[in-house]
Amino acid sequence: MEKIRFDYNLALRFVKQGNIDSWAERIAFCHEMLHAGTGPGSECRGWLDWPISISADEVGQIKAAASRIRQEAQAFLVVGIGGSYLGTRAAIEMLTHSFRNELPPDRRQGPRIYFAGYQLSSAHISHLLEVIDGPQISLNVISKSGTTTEPALIFGLLKAFMEEKYGPDEARRRIFATTDKERGLLRELADREGYTAFTIPDDIGGRYSVLTPVGLLPMAVAGIDIEEVLKGARAAAQDLQDPRLMENPCYQYAAVRNILYGQGYSIELLAAYEPGMHYLGEWFKQLFGESEGKSCQGIFPAAVSFTTDLHSLGQYIQEGPRNLFETVLRVKKASTKVQIDWDTAPPYLKGHTLDFVNQKALEGALLAHSEGGVPCLQIEIPEISPYYFGYLVYFFMKACAISGYLAGVNPFDQPGVEAYKRHMQDLLK
């Protein structure tokens, strides 16, 4: 299989190759810290070997649960927030039909999927309740701690709704919990109620958990081949374990973004040209933001959807403060071809595909932004598929861990997230 490639050629106007080379020793040191477990947060490195260590039995159980949900439910509710939500949504939006919920059941294959518990809006939950009033439903509540306010509160409401609709016994059968093996209120509840439950490994933090049952169960319900996702992640684990900087694209990415940060480029824009990759950007923001934003330091991770955001943020990117760099996700082979053959199309485009135009927009924006003083990096993905989703998220997780170590922080904790929770609890009480 082809590999995901990292290309920093366009950034060489801003970063000297010699400078990059000089980071080889630091990279080898951080590689050793990560792999030998001598760095901060070493108890949270379970994701590193997870694609290899997940058992066939566990994959089988996930697939069996998904198959039951697919048979019994017309709507599937996925309740979670942050690391217990964003990666799952990223996978489903990237790998399934753009209008999946709107497709007729025979083409959709599996229930409609709705996400909840990721905010506290009354309008959102009221509207959701209206939508799920009619269809048969199943629900997956995902929370590692089992105590996060948003999913806990919204799950309680949906549980009551399901008990009312089905009676307690049938509701119990239709609720699936993904949580800690032993700790937390959700685990207690799952054990008490007898929910089918899946475990989030102790040594895998929320934002590194997309390849665990957190992401795999909803992905399988959506009809995504989770064995392919894991296969891609395994290939990445294999390909990206070389400690030598110039042999490891993931480490090159980690090094270059840190060098740019040192030169004052403190904002990273992750740019995708596929709307289905919007939530991958949201997942990326959490992964890097929570991992690196510490001790009054860290690259601010932002994500943009092009070409639409070229018409909103394009001006700022082109001529605003020169403190941002861009990482473009470039998909080599389009999944669908739309031939430009309609009457009103400009003659010079006839015979080309819409994807060709999208690629030229990407190339044009890269040239413009580079000329405007924005260092541009590219991550090339051969195609959008479960395999490359697994590969890509592993690439980012490893780059993030190494990047955090290069910056001298613990990339696996998130002490700052607690501050708002404390204040909110005080205010509520």
Per CB under 6 A, residues contacting ligand PA5 are 81-84, 143-145, 148, 151, 205-207, 290, 414, 417
Task: Report the C-alpha gap between 189 and 235 in whole angstroms.
Answer: 37
Q: How far is the CB of 42 from ligand PA5 (least distance, A)?
A: 17
Q: How far is the CB of 34 from ligand PA5 (least distance, A)?
A: 18
31 is catalytic: no
Q: Which is nearer to ligand PA5, 44 or 328 (CB)?
A: 44
Main-chain phi, psi angles of 240, to 5 degrees: -105, 30
Beta-carbon contacts of 389 under 8 Å, excluding residues fewer than 6 positions away, are: 91, 94, 95, 229, 232
398 is catalytic: no
- Asked if 218 and 78 count as a contact pair (C-beta separation under 8 A), the reply is yes
Strands 137-143 and 196-199: unpaired
Residue of 290, 292, 326, 398 with catalytic role = 290
Q: How far is the CB of 23 from ligand PA5 (least distance, A)?
A: 27
Q: Which is nearer to ligand PA5, 179 or 248 (CB)?
A: 179
Report the length, in residues, of the chain: 429
Task: Report the C-alpha gap between 200 and 387 in whole angstroms.
Answer: 22
Give the Cα-Cα-Cα angle 54, 411, 118 (nearest 5 degrees).
Answer: 75
Token pair for 213: 């049952």
Residue of 16, 181, 333, 421 with catalytic role = 421
Give the Cα-Cα-Cα angle 256, 261, 266 (nearest 5 degrees).
Answer: 130
Please report, for the chain, how many H helices and E strands are present, in that order: 18, 10
Beta-carbon contacts of 112 under 8 Å, excluding residues fewer than 6 positions away, are: 74, 75, 76, 100, 101, 135
Q: How far is the CB of 85 from ligand PA5 (least distance, A)?
A: 7
311 is catalytic: yes
Task: Report the C-alpha gap between 416 and 142 in whole angstroms.
Answer: 21
List, in sequence order, every residue forming a beta bridge with 77; answer none if it has no partner: 114, 139
Q: Which is nearer to ligand PA5, 93 or 290 (CB)?
A: 290
Q: Which is nearer to ligand PA5, 39 or 117 (CB)?
A: 117
Task: Report the C-alpha gap between 154 and 156 in whole angstroms.
Answer: 5
Q: Which is nearer to ligand PA5, 88 or 378 (CB)?
A: 88
Q: How far is the CB of 201 from ligand PA5 (least distance, A)?
A: 13
Task: Report the C-alpha gap between 137 and 129 in whole angstroms.
Answer: 11
Q: How far is the CB of 216 from ligand PA5 (least distance, A)?
A: 15
Q: How far is the CB of 265 from ligand PA5 (least distance, A)?
A: 25
Q: Which is nearer to ligand PA5, 145 or 266 (CB)?
A: 145
Q: Which is nearer to ligand PA5, 288 or 306 (CB)?
A: 288
- Round the CA-based radius of gyration of the chain to a whole number and report it: 22
Strands 196-199 and 175-179: parallel
What per-residue string of b and e applies to 27-43 under the rule 16 or more CB within 10 Å gives b?
Answer: bbebbebbeeeebebee
Q: Which residues are catalytic?
A: 290, 311, 421
